[in-house]
């Protein structure tokens, strides 16, 4: 099961308010686990639907403040330094980063802001009178919907997905990676790794620890400028 | 190649065998009674009957290895060429960088102890004896993939590994901008970049393993410790087109360029070059029949060949690859020299040519080569189609001095299954290069113009090169340029035994199911009287074509 989503949900429920509410949300969530497991086995979209139902009744303000806290305390603290470097390197090379995820927008928005990413696609709750209804607004970001969203986003900007690079770590993102001209498997799960090897997709491994000899990647001599200047002479 | 009689008298028995007896029999013309010939075919070997009249060129037998390699190394360090002995150049306050050839040589990997380990042990001991502490060991990978911990341990040995890994023993990183320094420009406006650590050292010691004459010399430092910004001046289509051949440094524009860079580097750096040469003993023990003339095969050789073929055929791809790459060759060291780069390299070249050169009369209309499972760029990895191209057209075509073995406009037959297989972690940019760039054009100049810079600066490929084990993004372009002299020279390339014809077509080659079919295709165009030459591997041979 997608532990990222489960972790985010548990964090939300254990910080949601008074003890009584916490226990009540936790019990409701735990009772949903078998359904979630079955749902994920059948369809990733179903998992999102079942999982996010557990958020029913939580206020919008609370969700967004918890989202910010989760982002700050968990996500940012666990970002791979090399991943951030690569986002920056891509940006420097003129490749705009876009975040496409099945996580809820109240978590993704602060993360995107932290990474300086303007465009992102995430699952969005439907709210009624300031409280989550437990339903998600369409399109639900899972499986093929990610690829559809990317195609639409690219065509609106006159871009071709064949020129885009896509990074994902789960076999659930196969449709998304298939849609990209340059799919890359990042710390892939077993099934995605098998597919990557089979389809000859590049595989990247991010590690927590920096390896020896890893200095700042981009804050040094302007190499590209030097190359450009000397191109005429060669 | 024949030497005056007076010179022959001075040679040791094994060398004499080389000069007189062996080389007379190294060019064999097949007749009806001739045995089938072994031909490398990827991870297998073909055993095929070649047409009557085919000329087969065999490598000279391996030279006798040095009786005591450690003693020879000690002697070289004490009696260097045009330089003071190593110990006399040392003082305790100096900064020393030892650059070491990576695992791309020799091929297959050699049995332990690796020559580099022997060299290192003595060099490190000398440094320690003279109180030199500031020592870094850099694997001179240039744009090759980072070697893994296990691979580094294998070539440097336990002692150096335990003492220096990982802080003072590491792979060169051509994309770590803080660790690079520009030394200047040559008179041809070639930028010379180098590892900053080396550039700022009081002494750079280069440990080289020379497998073929293309290796070593100024190329060691000027390429091994240099980034893309330097390499692009000679690793390009125009320079490589002007190299005839890579194995003949006097007629290679690639070597002229790296020599210019090397000379500039020598102006600002004190380099102590140690070069070694190995013999051609690639296969020994149960596999020694692979190096024999097939006409001399006895029953035991035939049995071993059948057993080998059966085993290879029945293993899974993964297991077969693993078994082959784990094989360690019993190479023997046939020479070691130290000191001034140019003086040392002249001695190395003389020895290497003594080992490899075979006089051959005239060119052929059709040249047959078999591409084996390994080349310098797929150690512990997959031989992908771009590398097959590089090995066939780049390396094997260039195994000549004076004139190519195949005439201009002739046909080259390359035996390899040519499968659509790439290693996603070692060769990620190769995949895009093959499926995207080659789909648009196979013209090296056009590829260089359209795509090279994009790949060289691609952040994902740079990341995979720096932190993974991937070859640099620009590397597949170099592999393609490597085949450029052959592409300019031959009229047609046929992939024999090709399993996926579309892969051959992507590279502009024709495909044939079998070697017989490939020969028939070639002779149907060139005529039945077309002369055929088969360059026998293993091991390696350099043809001195008259």
Task: Dump pLDDT digits (tens) for A186-229.
Answer: 999 998 999 998 888 999 988 876 544 443 333 333 334 333 33
Q: Which residues of A, range 96-155, sit inside 8 Å of B by Cβ?
A: none
Between CA A150 and CA A84 the distance in angstroms is 21
Nearest to A213 among B173, B425, B468 (CB): B173
Cβ-based contacts of A223 with chain B (< 8 Å): 177, 229
Between CA A183 and CA A192 the distance in angstroms is 11
User: Hey, are the CB atoms on B459 and A93 less than 8 Å from each other?
Assistant: yes
The predicted model gives A139-168 an average pLDDT of 91
Q: Which residue of A has its CA nearest to B424?
A: A202
Strand partners, B209: B276
Work out the mean pLDDT of chain A and round it to a whole number.
Answer: 80
The predicted model gives B138-148 an average pLDDT of 97
**Structure tokens belonging to residue A172:** 């659930």
Between CA B525 and CA B87 the distance in angstroms is 63
User: Hey, are the CB atoms on B462 and A89 less than 8 Å from each other?
Assistant: yes
| Percent of chain A clearing pLDDT 90 (strictly above) | 28
**pLDDT of B362 strictly over 80:** yes
Q: What pLDDT shows up at residue B10?
A: 53
Cβ-based contacts of A196 with chain B (< 8 Å): 424
**Structure tokens belonging to residue A227:** 């190359």
B268-306: pLDDT as tens digits:
999 999 999 999 999 999 999 999 999 999 999 999 999
User: Hey, are the CB atoms on A220 and B177 less than 8 Å from each other?
Assistant: yes
> Does ipTM top 0.85?
no
A193 and B CB contact within 8 Å: no
Work out the mean pLDDT of chain B and round it to a whole number.
Answer: 94
Cβ-based contacts of A82 with chain B (< 8 Å): 463, 467
Cβ-based contacts of B237 with chain A (< 8 Å): none
A204 and B CB contact within 8 Å: yes
Q: Which residues of B, range 205-234, sit inside 8 Å of A by Cβ?
A: 229, 232-233
User: Hey, are the CB atoms on A233 and B428 less than 8 Å from each other?
Assistant: no
Closest of B428, B299, B293, B312 to residue B372, by C-alpha: B312
Cβ-based contacts of A214 with chain B (< 8 Å): 176, 466-467
Cβ-based contacts of B460 with chain A (< 8 Å): 86, 90, 165, 182, 184, 202, 204
CB contacts < 8 A, A to B, total 89
Nearest to A82 among B167, B232, B463 (CB): B463
Quote the pTM value. Answer: 0.87
B173-188: pLDDT as tens digits:
999 999 999 999 999 9
B381-440: pLDDT as tens digits:
999 999 999 999 999 999 999 999 999 999 999 999 999 999 999 999 999 999 999 999
Instruction: Return contacts of B382-385, CB within 8 angstroms, 24+ apart.
Output: B382/B321, B382/B421, B382/B422, B382/B423, B382/B426, B382/B427, B383/B42, B383/B43, B383/B416, B383/B421, B384/B421, B384/B422, B384/B423, B384/B427, B384/B430, B384/B434, B385/B418, B385/B419, B385/B420, B385/B434, B385/B503, B385/B506, B385/B507
Question: A121: exposed, middle or buried (C-beta count within 10 Å: 0-12, 13-18, 19+)?
Answer: buried
* B106–chain A nearest CA distance, Å: 26
The predicted model gives B25-40 an average pLDDT of 94
Least confident segment among A27-41, A93-107, B198-212: A27-41
Nearest to A230 among B176, B191, B425 (CB): B191
Q: What pLDDT shows up at residue B172?
A: 97
A90 and B CB contact within 8 Å: yes
The pLDDT confidence band at residue B18, using thresholds 50, 70 and 90, is low
Sign of the alpha-carbon dihedral angle for B304, B308, B314, B318: positive
Superfamily of domain B69-278: LarA, N-terminal domain (3.40.50.11440)
A200 and B CB contact within 8 Å: yes
The predicted model gives B474-482 an average pLDDT of 98
| Percent of chain B clearing pLDDT 70 (strictly above) | 96
Q: What pLDDT shows up at residue B15?
A: 54
User: Do B69-278 and B5-9+28-53+284-328+361-545 have the same topology in CATH?
Assistant: no
B197 and A CB contact within 8 Å: no
Q: Using alpha carbons only, what angle is made at residue B326 by residues B323 and B332, rounded to the nearest 5 degrees?
A: 130
What is the SS3 assignment for B271? strand
Count the Cβ atoms, other than its own, within 10 Å of residue B49.
14
Cβ-based contacts of B184 with chain A (< 8 Å): none
Per DSSP, the residues of B438-450 read HHH---HHHHIII
Between CA B425 and CA B421 the distance in angstroms is 12
Q: What pLDDT shows up at residue B14?
A: 53
Nearest to A221 among B177, B191, B459 (CB): B177
User: Hey, are the CB atoms on B190 and A202 less than 8 Å from each other?
Assistant: no
User: Hey, are the CB atoms on B458 and A93 less than 8 Å from each other?
Assistant: yes
Q: What pLDDT shows up at residue A36?
A: 78
Between CA A210 and CA A188 the distance in angstroms is 19
B441-453: pLDDT as tens digits:
999 999 999 999 9
Higher pLDDT, A100 or B10: A100
- Top-level CATH class of B5-9+28-53+284-328+361-545? alpha beta
A3 cis-preceded (ω within 30 degrees of 0): no
Nearest to B233 among A93, A205, A234 (CB): A234
Q: What pLDDT shows up at residue B147?
A: 96
Nearest to A89 among B182, B428, B459 (CB): B459
The predicted model gives B337-350 an average pLDDT of 97
**pLDDT of A5 strictly over 80:** no
- Evaluate whether B291 touches B312 at the Cβ level (below 8 Å): no
Domain boundaries, chain B: 5-9+28-53+284-328+361-545, 69-278
């Amino acid at each position: 099961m997608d532990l990222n989503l489960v972790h985010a949900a548990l964090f939300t429920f254990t910080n949601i308010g008074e003890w009584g509410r916490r226990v009540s949300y936790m019990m409701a969530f735990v009772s949903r686990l078998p359904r979630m497991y079955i749902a994920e086995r059948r369809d990733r979209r179903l998992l999102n639907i079942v999982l996010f139902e557990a958020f029913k009744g939580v206020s919008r303000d609370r969700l967004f403040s918890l989202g910010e806290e989760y982002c700050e305390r968990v996500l940012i603290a666990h970002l791979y330094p090399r991943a951030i470097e690569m986002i920056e390197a891509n940006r420097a090379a003129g490749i705009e980063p876009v975040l496409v995820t099945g996580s809820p927008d109240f978590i993704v928005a602060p993360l995107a802001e932290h990474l300086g990413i303007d465009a992102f696609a995430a699952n969005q709750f439907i709210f009624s009178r300031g409280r989550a209804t437990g339903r998600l607004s369409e399109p639900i970001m899972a499986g093929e919907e990610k690829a559809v969203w990317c195609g639409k986003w690219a065509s609106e900007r006159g871009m071709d997905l064949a020129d885009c690079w896509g990074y994902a770590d789960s076999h659930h993102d196969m449709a998304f990676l298939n849609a990209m001209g340059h799919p890359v498997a990042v710390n892939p799960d077993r099934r995605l790794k098998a597919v990557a090897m089979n389809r000859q997709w590049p595989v990247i491994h991010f590690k927590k620890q920096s390896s020896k000899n890893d200095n700042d990647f981009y804050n040094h001599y302007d190499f590209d400028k030097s190359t450009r200047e000397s191109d005429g002479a060669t | 190649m024949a030497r005056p009689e007076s010179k022959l008298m001075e040679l040791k028995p094994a060398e004499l065998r080389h000069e007189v007896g062996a080389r007379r029999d190294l060019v064999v013309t097949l007749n009806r009674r001739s045995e089938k010939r072994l031909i490398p075919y990827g991870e297998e070997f073909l055993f095929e009957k070649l047409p009557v009249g085919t000329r087969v060129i065999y490598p000279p037998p391996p030279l006798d290895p040095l009786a005591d390699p450690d003693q020879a190394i000690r002697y070289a360090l004490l009696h260097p060429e045009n330089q003071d002995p190593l110990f006399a150049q040392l003082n305790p306050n100096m900064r020393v960088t030892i650059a070491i050839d990576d695992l791309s040589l020799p091929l297959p990997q050699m049995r332990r102890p690796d020559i580099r380990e022997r060299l290192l042990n003595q060099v490190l001991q000398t440094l320690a004896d003279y109180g030199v502490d500031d020592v870094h060991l850099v694997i001179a990978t240039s744009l090759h993939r980072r070697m893994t911990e296990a691979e580094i341990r294998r070539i440097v040995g336990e002692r150096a590994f335990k003492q220096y890994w990982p802080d003072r023993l590491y792979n060169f990183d051509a994309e770590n901008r803080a660790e690079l320094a520009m030394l200047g420009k040559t008179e041809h406006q070639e930028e010379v970049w180098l590892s900053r650590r080396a550039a700022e050292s009081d002494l750079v010691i280069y440990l080289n393993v020379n497998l073929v004459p293309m290796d070593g010399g100024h190329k060691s430092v000027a390429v091994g410790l240099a980034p893309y910004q330097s390499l692009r001046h000679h690793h390009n289509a125009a320079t490589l087109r002007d190299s005839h051949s890579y194995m003949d440094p006097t007629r290679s524009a690639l070597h002229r360029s790296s020599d210019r860079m090397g000379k500039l580097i020598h102006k600002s750096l004190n380099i102590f070059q140690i070069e070694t040469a190995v013999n051609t003993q690639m296969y020994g023990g149960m596999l020694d029949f692979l190096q024999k003339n097939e006409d001399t095969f006895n029953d035991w050789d035939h049995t071993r060949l059948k057993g080998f073929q059966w085993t290879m055929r029945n293993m899974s791809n993964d297991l077969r690859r693993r078994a082959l790459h784990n094989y360690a060759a019993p190479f023997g060291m046939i020479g070691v020299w130290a000191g001034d780069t140019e003086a040392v390299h002249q001695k190395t070249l003389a020895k290497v040519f003594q080992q490899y050169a075979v006089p051959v009369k005239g060119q052929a209309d059709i040249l047959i080569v078999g591409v084996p499972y390994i080349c310098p760029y797929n150690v512990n990895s997959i031989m992908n189609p771009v590398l097959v191209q590089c090995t066939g057209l780049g390396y094997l075509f260039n195994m000549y001095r004076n004139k190519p073995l195949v005439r201009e406009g002739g046909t080259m037959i390359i035996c390899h299954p040519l499968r659509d297989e790439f290693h996603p972690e070692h060769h990620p940019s190769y995949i895009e290069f093959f499926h995207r760039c080659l789909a648009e054009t196979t013209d090296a100049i056009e590829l260089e113009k359209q795509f090279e810079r994009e790949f060289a600066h691609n952040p994902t490929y740079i990341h995979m090169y720096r932190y993974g084990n991937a070859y640099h993004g620009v590397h597949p372009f170099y592999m393609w340029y490597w085949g450029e002299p052959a592409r300019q020279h031959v009229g047609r390339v046929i992939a024999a035994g090709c399993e996926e014809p579309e892969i051959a077509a992507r590279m502009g080659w024709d495909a044939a199911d079998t070697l017989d079919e490939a020969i028939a295709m070639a002779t149907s165009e060139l005529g039945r009287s077309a002369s055929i030459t088969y360059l026998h591997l293993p091991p390696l041979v350099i043809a001195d074509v008259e």
